[in-house]
Structure 1
């Protein structure tokens, strides 16, 4: 699938490049012991600067999703699923991604998923596929 790649900055490098070592890296605040996404230099909950990327489990569930049928780029495969994934590591820890590895009509709210990485240049995109052993 053709993809537009994000700009990798010092602030976002751990998130976009953690897949190199197979780890989903998410910002963690040591002051209030909370994960947060997207990456930022300041904790959005308590305002602390004591934040750093740390690995999370990469497991979660589909909280909501939509199926896109529009080919926004000429080489873009369609249809594809855009989903909000709630990670198991903390209630409310969510990220926007794609669900891959099954037909779009089998994706459903509550589907247990696991992160997989798709490398493009120096970026490892975190995508989500059904967890192995999951009944669809």
Structure 2
């Protein structure tokens, strides 16, 4: 049986973000190792990615809600041999965030054999350093939630 490479993330210097007024609070919270989502102050709709106005009621009023960091895999892919990194295996995932109904986040799951990842798998947030001093929300298998 061949040993599988565990899922990882791109090297720190390869990940850059751009912020604006709508996304800055998300990234500032991540720097503090907190996962947050914007919620419309008028109708209560969560929205990720953050947008300047609510897609339901068009309000510009929002509150940033701290989430538990729990998530479940909605969809995923396995990427072997990323260009320039032949030993790297990535597992990008789309996760459902139960604390923010209706939202999904595109991220990575790490430190798991790709063949073990499945839809509905319970995950928990962690944070990985990226360029310019930012932290990237990533996810790991939630062993407390498995079982």
Report 1:55-74 matches (<5 A). 55-72=66-83, 74=84
Aligned length in residues: 135
For 1:16-59, what per-residue CA distance to the aligned partner results, in whole angstroms no more than 9, with x for missing partners? 23122221121110111121100111011111111132211211
Distance change in 2, residues 1:76/1:49 (3 Å): farther
Once the two structures are TM-superposed, the CA of residue 109 in structure 1 deviates from its matched residue by 0.6
Where is the strand percentage greater, Structure 1 or Structure 2? 1
Q: CA RMSD in A?
A: 1.9
Ranges in structure 2 where 5+ consecutive residues have no aligned partner: 1-9
Q: 2:121 aligns with which of 107, 111, 129?
A: 111
Q: 1:14 aligns with which of 8, 13, 25?
A: 25
Ranges in structure 1 where 5+ consecutive residues have no aligned partner: none
User: For the Cα contact (< 8 Å) 1:18–1:24, is it kept in 2?
Assistant: yes
Query: What CA distance in whole angstroms lies between the structure 1 residues aligned with 2:124 and 2:144?
Result: 11
Distance change in 2, residues 1:34/1:77 (3 Å): farther
Report 1:1-136 matches (<5 A). 1-2=10-11, 3-72=14-83, 74-75=84-85, 78-120=88-130, 121-135=132-146
User: For the Cα contact (< 8 Å) 1:17–1:122, is it kept in 2?
Assistant: no
After the TM superposition, which of the residue ranges 102-111 and 52-61 deviates more from structure 2? 52-61
Distance change in 2, residues 1:76/1:98 (3 Å): farther
SS of equivalent residue, structure 2 residue 36: strand
User: For the Cα contact (< 8 Å) 1:18–1:124, is it kept in 2?
Assistant: no
